[in-house]
Structure 1
């Protein structure tokens, strides 16, 4: 009974603050304050406050909250251990299998990486009057190094 009275008083005070805010021509803020102040009134009218009051004084409900907290901590702990290991056992096995099989044939990406091949054409020297700056001989060397570092 007292919880309902307190929630109703909070709602009335919030609506009063919303009215003063609207009087100051801050309608968006007034609407937001009115929305927040109507929440406790709605909770009282739906009976959620009575349920919450009954739950707050129930030892069984507090034990249930404790069990839920323990479950949440277990989920959190297992997730952090999983991140340190680098994924689940199934994911690690799949990654190891893919690494052993070689997902991409090494020779398949050699031409695109600019690897040394005997049929590689040499670039013609630029003309003197072309106005273009001379392109570096291997402008993808940094990208190639990154790809090699990651085993691609």
Structure 2
């Protein structure tokens, strides 16, 4: 009852503003304002406002929304687990076996031709007692990573 009254008052106020806007010779804006102000009146006349008001204050409806939320959460959780490869043990074992079978057993080294490999840099060692002894650890780390 209160929701219908509020919607009717909003519609009446909107139509009043549209009339003032039309009086100022802004007919396009007045028509747009009238269209927006007629929406709440139409919702009241179709009964949507009453249905929404009954739904908003119904504990059963809120419990239904909670059940829908839990259902959505379960769907999203199962999709994310499925994407991460969390299938059954049999599926994981079959996938690992297929991956092992796909690799050639004699392919332990890369099959690049000698001409396509990058040229090796000559290793330069710093002179003993120089200030570059401090950087030997850093150089070792960089060489380890191939930099």
What TM-score comes out, normalization by structure 1 length? 0.47
What TM-score comes out, normalization by structure 2 length? 0.49
Structure possessing the higher radius of gyration over alpha carbons: 2
